Structure 1
Amino acid sequence: MLLLLLLLFLSPHSTLSLTQDGLFLHEAKLQLSDPDNALSNWNFRDATPCNWSGVTCDIHSGDVTSLDLSDAQLQGPFPTILCRLPSLTSISFFNNSITSSLPAHISNCSNLQLLNLSQNALVGPIPATLSQISSLRHLDLSFNNFSGDIPVSFGQFQRLELLELVSNLLNGTIPSSLGNISSLRVLRLAYNPFAPSPIPVEFGNLKNIEELWLASCNFVGSIPASLSRLTQLWNLDLSINRLNGSIPELIVGMKSLVQVELYQNSLSGELPVGMSKLTNLRRFDASTNMLTGTIPDELCQLNLESLNLNDNQLVGHLPESIALSPNLQELKLYNNTLTGRLPSALGNNSKLTTLDVSYNQFYGEIPETLCEGGELVVLILIYNSFSGKIPQSLGDCTSLNRVRLRNNNLSGIVPNALWGLPHVYILEVVHNSLSGQISSKITGARNLSQLLISNNQFSGSIPDEIGSLNNLSEFDGSHNTFSGQIPASIVKLSQLGRLDLSDNKLSGTIPGELRELNELNELNLANNMIDGNIPEEIGSLPVLNYLDLSSNQLYGDIPLQLQNLKLNSLNLSYNHLSGSIPFLYDNENYRRSFIGNQGLCGNLYGLCRNYGESKNLRNLWLFRSIFVLAGIVFVVGVAWFYFKYRNLKKLRKGLNISKWRSFHRYGFSELEIVKLLSEDNVIGSGASGRVYKVVLSNGEIVAVKKLWRATKKEDESVDPDKDEFEVEVETLGKIRHKNIVRLWCCCNTGDSKLLVYEYMPNGSLADILHGSKKSLLDWPTRYKIAIDAAEGLSYLHHDCVPPIVHRDVKSNNILLDGEFGAKVADFGVAKMFRGVSKGGESMSVIAGSYGYIAPEYAYTLRVNEKSDIYSFGVVILELVTGKPAVDSEYGEEDLVKRVSKTLDQKGIDQVIDPCLDSKHEEQISKVLSIGLLCTSSVPITRPSMRRVVKMLQEASGDPRCRSVKRDGKLTPYYHEEACDQANIVS
């Protein structure tokens, strides 16, 4: 009040006209930080606040009745002065940064009917005094950091209709007194680490309840029969708990049920009899339990839109009556042990959009009626025993975009029209007994990205029309009987990353102009009858790292241009090649790449017939020449020594600076490394220097970083005592961990500073994830990379003494070995961090890379391990989305903001990289949740790296760390404490 009087005194003319409500609101503004100027029009120029942003007034009295400041980016504690507004009935601070604890005297807002403080950063206990607001109808405190108990006094609410406490840190008990709120229509307590307890039987007294969302509440015991009294209930979600026993038969009397979620519990027994009485039921999900028996016929007579019984221990067959369901759109039964035939009329009575029965034991023919409704989009029948022909009707199903039929017993000819479906982007029929030719109608498959038809009996020539598939990135036609030439049109496939036509009967020559295939990463033409020369154009393919032309009839020399490639695998064996082996490959590491070519000679013993004789002749010539040359060498040596001796003192002084320091045992010569630092060997260049790939004479490959020569000023900008070279040597020289790149040795000549690392053949994560080789990174590979990198950073933070803060974690600094194992690299700005416990060290300049820098750098230059965790969170988002941390398409946003906005507006399906297989969606959503937790804007809420490692490991099998459904959208969620207490069902 004193502040109000002061404002009146200082501005007597401008404030006298502003109403009392306006003055209260303006004081509330002063208590909040407003970085986006959302309250810029809250000023004294107006006589009334009714035109201010977010303010609603009574049209008659002019009193403020509602305040909605959602998404305003406001920061600070809850302004309790708002409770002085006598007519205020509604407050919403949804999705801001309201911090601190919620004061007990919030009960002074005595006329409130709605209080929405969800998605903020509130901490501490929930005030028990809230129940004193007798008029309150809507209370939403979800997505905060409240802890402790739900107040027992909440049972005193007289008019409360909605209570939402989802996703907090509530770790006490759920009071049975909540069953006294007879007015309650919606109760959402999901995703809190409550103490283990049974579902209160008193919940059966909530006679008006319509929605009961109790997922991941750590419930134990059985489902209480008292819930059957909830006759108004349409949504029952008890998923992701530790419930056991059977599904109560009384559930069949809850005729208002539309959705039942019971997945990921320990429920057993059979599905209850009489479920056909649930005439309103649209979705039923009891996956990941311990249910037994078959699917009852009556269940299939319901108006289901989705039947999900995935990952159970279901046995038995699928009844024909399931085909009678008129509203069945999605049928997912993958990962069970179901057997028998699919119902012959499946899809005939409903507009089926998705059918996934993968990893079962189904047999018989694929029903002709699957696309009868004309809306089938996804057809996944992989790893079963289906036989017979592919139905002709699927060729007319133009709505299809995914067709996966691999690993079955299908035979006959693929329908012509199926080859050319306009929306299909993956056609997979691998490991069947299909025959016939690839139809020329494939030119109509303009969206086809993956054509996977290997291990069948396809024959004939590959049609020229294959070259019209502009989006084709992978073509695997191996292990068939294709004949004729490789079509020349294949060089038009500018997006092609993998071409495997091995083990066929192809003949003719390899097409020229291969340089057009700039995205080609793998070329495998092994075991054919291809002849002619190896085109030198292959050597110009910029990203090729797998080349297999073995077991053909190729002849002539090996093009020297192949040395331009950065190959992980090379196989030219069993051809008719002749001449010499290019220098780069003329060593024991590549012996198996050239065997079986009788005319090919080099320094590798046994490659050609006359190797022994030619070797003896060369040795004889050498012995004769050595005596002649010995004298010349001796004279030159003495002269050389004389001139070098004059500078010996200077040289020794230099050697004191430049002597090599080793950190591991190695078997190569340091001097050889210096000789091979040519521009041809450069594989990377950045702000700190260049990186070279050096192939040593013993066949070993190392990576050498040559740092730029920095000016004194630049050196001081990094650290006043150490330059980047010394920092990296000091850091890496002490580290021994499988997920930290190994520093073999280093050299400092003053003018030239070299760091010699183990070579990582797959380069950086950024190069592959955001480059042409992205298709190599399926989700299991990305998941492994995330765990590897997290373990490396965890070692730095928790196992090094003192701890090490990397300060430049990004996808460019995560390197991948030949098996895509990840290792953290580039420690040029790392710190032996002694100030972690004191809140961080103040830096003279910002260290890190744009897009990865934690937001607290905007207002402080303090750095600690939480900064690394934020940066690693960005890397996780890159792995999940496939998008870079910064991009022009984001505008002024970065990846973190873009992902958060997309999740809120469009849901998780629009966030996940579309290249990833949807079968991993649950695990991907868990990992995404971890990334979002790491990129929290509040440093203290970010988990430690040791915790991040544990969360990532749990993501593979912990059912409590998963995505949640909210308002019809899949929302990622992860709760640390919940996962600590989780009882994983194997």
Structure 2
Amino acid sequence: MLLVLLFLLSLPLSLSLNQEGLYLQRVKHGLDDPNGFLSNWNDRDDSPCNWYGIHCDSATRSVNKVDLSNANVAGPFPSLLCRLPNLSFLSFYNNSINSTLPVDLSTCQNLLHLNLAQNYLTGPLPVTLADLPNLRHLDLTANNFSGDIPASFGRFVKLEQLSLVGNLLDGTLPSFLGNITTLKQLNLSYNPFMPGRIPPELGNLTSLEILWLTQCNLVGRIPDSLGKLKRLTDLDLALNSLEGSIPGSLTELTSVVQIELYNNSLSGEFPPGISNLTALRLFDASMNLLEGTIPDELCRLPLESLHLYENNFVGNLPESIVNSPNLYELRLFRNQLTGELPKDLGKNSPLVLLDVSDNQFSGEIPSSLCAKGELEELLMIYNSFSGQIPKSLSECRSLTRVRLGNNKFSGEVPAGFWGLPYVSLLELVDNGFSGSIAKTIAGATDLSLLIISRNNFSGEIPDEIGRLENLFDFSGSNNRLSGSIPASMVKLGELGRLDLHNNELSGGFPTGIHSWKKLNELNLANNEFSGKIPEEIGSLSVLNYLDLSGNQFSGKIPLGLQNLKLNELNLSNNHLSGDLPPLYAKEIYRSSFLGNPGLCGDLEGLCDSRSEAKNQGYLWLLRSIFLLAGVVFIVGVVWFYWKYRSFKKAKKAIDKSKWTLMSFHKLGFSEYEILDCLDEDNVIGSGASGKVYKAVLSNGEAVAVKKLWGGSKLEDEKIENESGDVEKGNMEDDGFAAEVDTLGKIRHKNIVKLWCCCTTRDCKLLVYEYMPNGSLGDLLHSSKGGLLEWRTRYKIAVDAAEGLSYLHHDCVPPIVHRDVKSNNILLDGDFGARVADFGVAKVVDATGKGPKSMSVIAGSCGYIAPEYAYTLRVNEKSDIYSFGVVILELVTGRLPVDSEFGEKDLVKWVCTSLDQKGVDHVIDPKLDSCFKEEIWRVLNIGLLCTSPLPINRPSMRRVVKMLQEVGPETQPNTAKKDGKLTPYYYEDTSDHGSVV
């Protein structure tokens, strides 16, 4: 009886939940809630007002707001919510709502705010959204909506914000949006619209405050009608193909705070009247074709950030720039500006970054640049600046990067300047600086790159340099440095490059150089070093460049040198003696040992000091041997030689008539020199498409030759090679044509160089630059993987990203590689990365209609993007997924597919392991734990690139920027977030050469 009574008492509670609560219960049952955010949606409550994400009107207790942002719920859109009669706010921001939106949403009559951004919604935009009479805020950012923007959207009555960023909308940018006169914010950025003009009708949106049309495939001119948007605070038309001049009507936007026009094809001069923009804080017109002078009236505005780099501006920088009280960022690199910098620049401005590289500036560095104590980056390379470094800069403790190379500076560097505590890069190369390296350099504890070559520095290298624990590159060649290498330098465990050639240094190697475990390049040529070459040098496992020529080293060559994989070895012009190590007793290394009279080996020009008496002792024996051999040899060989010569001449005449050479660069060799090297002993690789040979030419240079298989090796069907590559068709023809068409036109430091191709009817050869360190995949996943320390891996990731970014963004039309993987990233002698193997590359459809479908899959197991495997759609996002897998390889040290993963691939294994075991289980244990935070940030970039939805993957240009943000050489810039100026990062495109 007691149990029955308890049951009856509980029954009214379970039946007391109101109708709105019952609707929400049904919504809960239709959603997947892995994190239990909806666990307190209890059907025993009488009202849902205290449930997670549910808000009710205080008077009526009716649900008016459902906010499940960031709740990680999944499932189709719950249209049942529209039955809540007073619902005015609905947000599923950043969840996994999938499928399509219901066609009829008109039942949500009271809805004011609808935010479904960052989900997986697909299909067309519902026409009926415009039938919501009270809707003011509509945000569908970062989904997979496709097709046109419905014409019904022009009927919105009260809409104030429309955001459709980052979808797959591929129609035209419609003019009827100009009918929504209530709009305050219109954001259509990052959609693959058909090429089209900015509709002049947008000028009717007189209430508009924010207009973002970034990367919308816009062409033509900026319409004058935009000048009517008097309330506009933010105008972003970047990353399009707009042309013509900046319209004068834009000077009427008196409320505008940010104008971003970068990366278009705008030309002409600035319009007059720009001084009307009294609210302007950020102006970015970089990467256009603008010309003329930088107007004085622009520099009189209260700017915070001015970016005009990569244009054609001439003349002086106006003096009025010194009166900008808020200016913290000034980027003017790669123009044709002349004259001197204003002498009071920085006196009234909290300058953080100044980049005037690649111009024609002259005069001295203004002493006031760091007057506010904020300056972090000073980049002035490739100009004609002169004079001395002002002493005021030696007190600028905020500096992190200093690049003054390739100018006409002179005099001594102030002592305090050497020891700035936060500088990671100090580049003074190619100037006339004199004096010595001050002992105060001990204070530069963050210094990683010290580049002071080609100056007049003298005196000894101070012992204090051994305290720079982070020093990676010390390049001081072509100076007048003297004395010995300080013993303290053996403490530099991070040292990767030591280049001190062409100085007056003396003495021997310091004891303990075995601690230079990361040393990749050692160049001490043309000094006065003496003593023996230490046996320890053979323990420097990653050393691949060694030049000790032009010194006074004596004794034997250490046998330990045979342990090294050297791409460059030069010990010539010393006093070395004894026998050559067997590995180097070959003709190819002969020039590496010349000028050492005591060295002996079976090479011409060596061992000239052997005594005449010893030669005479063997002379009688040699004569006897030659006479006896001559009797037997001449009789038989003369006939054979005559026959062989006739055969060789005939064969060569036939061969020469067969080969056709097509060159893409100026060549220093012929096709016959290449053919002579196609020997099995020179094979360095083999795969489905053919063999790869290393060919050492007569000039000493090496090239790689890919010989494609003949037709018998490949049938016209889908095949899978040893590394998991999946391709189809006659690869001999298709792959060869793709490789030649693609690489023959490309010129980029991170794309492998195709020197030429040689063809006959039944054989095809591709001749590339030779990459001494092979492929990233072979090196990373072999026993030598431990040699790739984190900074080298990071550099490889940045290099490869820049190569792919060039293909996607700078080639016209863009190129999709389709087989990005670690085995197709080759490494030069400095571990610089080159993207290679374009046998399945395709150009993106130039019509703008979106990704092109291919007939078959091309790619490699573990690297193929999910959508590519099912839809066969070719676009840049497929490459980005594959590159993300490469990043995960670099971070984890694991293969993309491994039996340890079971049914999973590397991407799924990383995600699962992070959830269950944490980041320490994922990171390669061979990597130094001191870089853990940096590695974690790169891992996040890899996970972003491998997002299941293509729309959520960043562009390769953005990937490059994000990777550079991770490195120690980047500092914050300014960009926009939610309409406000916030920290952001730009690529420092003024970096050059090995200092990148």
Q: Same fold (TM over 0.5)?
A: yes
Question: What is the aligned partner in structure 1 of residue 391 from structure 2?
Answer: 392
Amino acid at match of 1:588: E
**Which of the numbers 940, 944, 948 marks the counterpart of 1:937?**
948
User: In the superposition, relative to structure 1, how do residues 770 and 29 fare at CA in structure 2: closer, same or farther (>3 Å)?
Assistant: farther
How far apart, CA to CA, are the structure 1 residues paired with 2:267 and 2:469? 51
User: In the superposition, relative to structure 1, how do residues 90 and 810 fare at CA in structure 2: closer, same or farther (>3 Å)?
Assistant: same
Question: What is the aligned partner in structure 1 of residue 881 from structure 2?
Answer: 873
User: In the superposition, relative to structure 1, how do residues 620 and 726 fare at CA in structure 2: closer, same or farther (>3 Å)?
Assistant: farther
How far apart, CA to CA, are the structure 1 residues paired with 2:134 and 2:416? 65
Question: What is the aligned partner in structure 2 of residue 245 from structure 1?
Answer: 244
Question: What is the aligned partner in structure 1 of residue 802 from structure 2?
Answer: 783
Question: What is the aligned partner in structure 1 of residue 439 from structure 2?
Answer: 440
- The 8 Å contact of residues 724 and 861 in structure 2, kept in 1 or not, is answered as no
How far apart, CA to CA, are the structure 1 residues paired with 2:108 and 2:726? 61
How far apart, CA to CA, are the structure 2 residues paired with 1:465 and 1:928? 38
Question: What is the aligned partner in structure 2 of residue 764 from structure 1?
Answer: 776
How far apart, CA to CA, are the structure 2 residues paired with 1:518 and 1:280? 55
1:945-976, Cα deviation, whole Å (9 max, x unpaired): xx999x99xx9xxxxxxx98543568899xxx
Matched, 1:406 2:427: no
How far apart, CA to CA, are the structure 2 residues paired with 1:540 and 1:186? 63
User: In the superposition, relative to structure 1, how do residues 725 and 80 fare at CA in structure 2: closer, same or farther (>3 Å)?
Assistant: closer
- The DSSP-based 3-state class of the residue aligned with 1:447 is coil
- The DSSP-based 3-state class of the residue aligned with 1:893 is helix
Deviation for aligned residue 1:619: 8.7
User: In the superposition, relative to structure 1, how do residues 725 and 160 fare at CA in structure 2: closer, same or farther (>3 Å)?
Assistant: closer
Describe how 1:234-273 pairs up with structure 2 within 5 A.
234-273=233-272
User: In the superposition, relative to structure 1, how do residues 426 and 65 fare at CA in structure 2: closer, same or farther (>3 Å)?
Assistant: same
- The DSSP-based 3-state class of the residue aligned with 1:590 is helix
Question: What is the aligned partner in structure 1 of residue 278 from structure 2?
Answer: 279
Question: What is the aligned partner in structure 2 of residue 67 from structure 1?
Answer: 66
User: In the superposition, relative to structure 1, how do residues 727 and 304 fare at CA in structure 2: closer, same or farther (>3 Å)?
Assistant: closer
Matched, 1:893 2:914: yes
Deviation for aligned residue 1:183: 2.2
- The 8 Å contact of residues 572 and 595 in structure 2, kept in 1 or not, is answered as yes
Amino acid at match of 1:764: L
- The 8 Å contact of residues 142 and 952 in structure 2, kept in 1 or not, is answered as no
- The DSSP-based 3-state class of the residue aligned with 2:914 is coil
- The 8 Å contact of residues 254 and 276 in structure 2, kept in 1 or not, is answered as yes
Deviation for aligned residue 1:620: 6.7
TM-score under structure 1 length normalisation: 0.72
Deviation for aligned residue 1:848: 7.1
- The 8 Å contact of residues 538 and 562 in structure 2, kept in 1 or not, is answered as yes
Describe how 1:126-145 pairs up with structure 2 within 5 A.
126-145=125-144
- The DSSP-based 3-state class of the residue aligned with 2:106 is helix
Deviation for aligned residue 1:119: 1.7
1:550-591, Cα deviation, whole Å (9 max, x unpaired): 110001000111111121211111101000011111111211
Deviation for aligned residue 1:822: 4.9
How far apart, CA to CA, are the structure 2 residues paired with 1:281 and 1:448? 37
Question: What is the aligned partner in structure 1 of residue 341 from structure 2?
Answer: 342
How far apart, CA to CA, are the structure 2 residues paired with 1:546 and 1:558? 16
Matched, 1:232 2:231: yes
Deviation for aligned residue 1:788: 10
User: In the superposition, relative to structure 1, how do residues 521 and 358 fare at CA in structure 2: closer, same or farther (>3 Å)?
Assistant: same
Deviation for aligned residue 1:141: 1.1
- The 8 Å contact of residues 347 and 369 in structure 2, kept in 1 or not, is answered as yes
- The 8 Å contact of residues 870 and 936 in structure 1, kept in 2 or not, is answered as no
How far apart, CA to CA, are the structure 2 residues paired with 1:71 and 1:779? 31
- The 8 Å contact of residues 171 and 195 in structure 1, kept in 2 or not, is answered as yes
How far apart, CA to CA, are the structure 1 residues paired with 2:205 and 2:953? 38
Deviation for aligned residue 1:789: 14
User: In the superposition, relative to structure 1, how do residues 199 and 732 fare at CA in structure 2: closer, same or farther (>3 Å)?
Assistant: closer
How far apart, CA to CA, are the structure 2 residues paired with 1:274 and 1:700? 59
Deviation for aligned residue 1:936: 2.9
Describe how 1:511-590 pairs up with structure 2 within 5 A.
511-590=510-589
- The DSSP-based 3-state class of the residue aligned with 1:216 is coil
Deviation for aligned residue 1:164: 0.8
- The 8 Å contact of residues 477 and 503 in structure 2, kept in 1 or not, is answered as yes
How far apart, CA to CA, are the structure 2 residues paired with 1:180 and 1:940? 29
- The 8 Å contact of residues 825 and 833 in structure 2, kept in 1 or not, is answered as no
- The 8 Å contact of residues 177 and 202 in structure 1, kept in 2 or not, is answered as yes
* Seq. identity, %: 51
Deviation for aligned residue 1:158: 2.1
Amino acid at match of 2:773: P
TM-score under structure 2 length normalisation: 0.71
1:624-658, Cα deviation, whole Å (9 max, x unpaired): 89999xxxxxxxxxxxxxxxxxxxxxxxxxxxxxx
Amino acid at match of 2:301: L
- The 8 Å contact of residues 789 and 822 in structure 1, kept in 2 or not, is answered as no
The alignment yields a C-alpha RMSD, in angstroms, of: 5.1
Describe how 1:174-253 pairs up with structure 2 within 5 A.
174-253=173-252
Matched, 1:307 2:328: no
- The 8 Å contact of residues 880 and 953 in structure 2, kept in 1 or not, is answered as no
- The 8 Å contact of residues 771 and 826 in structure 2, kept in 1 or not, is answered as no
Describe how 1:340-739 pairs up with structure 2 within 5 A.
340-609=339-608
- The 8 Å contact of residues 543 and 772 in structure 1, kept in 2 or not, is answered as no
Amino acid at match of 1:222: R
Name the stretch that deviates more: 582-591 or 770-779.
770-779
1:660-683, Cα deviation, whole Å (9 max, x unpaired): xxxx9987678x99xxxxxxxxx9
Name the stretch that deviates more: 225-234 or 812-821.
812-821
- The 8 Å contact of residues 144 and 951 in structure 2, kept in 1 or not, is answered as no
User: In the superposition, relative to structure 1, how do residues 733 and 311 fare at CA in structure 2: closer, same or farther (>3 Å)?
Assistant: closer
Deviation for aligned residue 1:159: 1.8
- The 8 Å contact of residues 394 and 414 in structure 2, kept in 1 or not, is answered as yes
Task: Report how many aligned residue pairs link the two structures.
Answer: 809
1:787-841, Cα deviation, whole Å (9 max, x unpaired): 8999xxxxxx999xxxxxx9xx86478553557445689xxxxxxxxxx979999
Deviation for aligned residue 1:242: 3.3
User: In the superposition, relative to structure 1, how do residues 510 and 774 fare at CA in structure 2: closer, same or farther (>3 Å)?
Assistant: farther
- The DSSP-based 3-state class of the residue aligned with 1:314 is strand
- The 8 Å contact of residues 310 and 334 in structure 1, kept in 2 or not, is answered as yes
1:358-414, Cα deviation, whole Å (9 max, x unpaired): 000000111111011111111000000001111111101111011100000000111
> Which consecutive residues of structure 1, in runs of 5 or more, have no partner in the other structure?
1-10, 629-663, 674-682, 684-692, 704-721, 741-757, 791-796, 800-805, 826-835, 842-846, 899-909, 917-923, 956-962, 974-986
Describe how 1:102-141 pairs up with structure 2 within 5 A.
102-141=101-140
Deviation for aligned residue 1:250: 3.1
User: In the superposition, relative to structure 1, how do residues 121 and 567 fare at CA in structure 2: closer, same or farther (>3 Å)?
Assistant: same
User: In the superposition, relative to structure 1, how do residues 166 and 775 fare at CA in structure 2: closer, same or farther (>3 Å)?
Assistant: closer
User: In the superposition, relative to structure 1, how do residues 209 and 889 fare at CA in structure 2: closer, same or farther (>3 Å)?
Assistant: same
Matched, 1:816 2:827: yes
Amino acid at match of 1:145: N
User: In the superposition, relative to structure 1, how do residues 856 and 317 fare at CA in structure 2: closer, same or farther (>3 Å)?
Assistant: closer
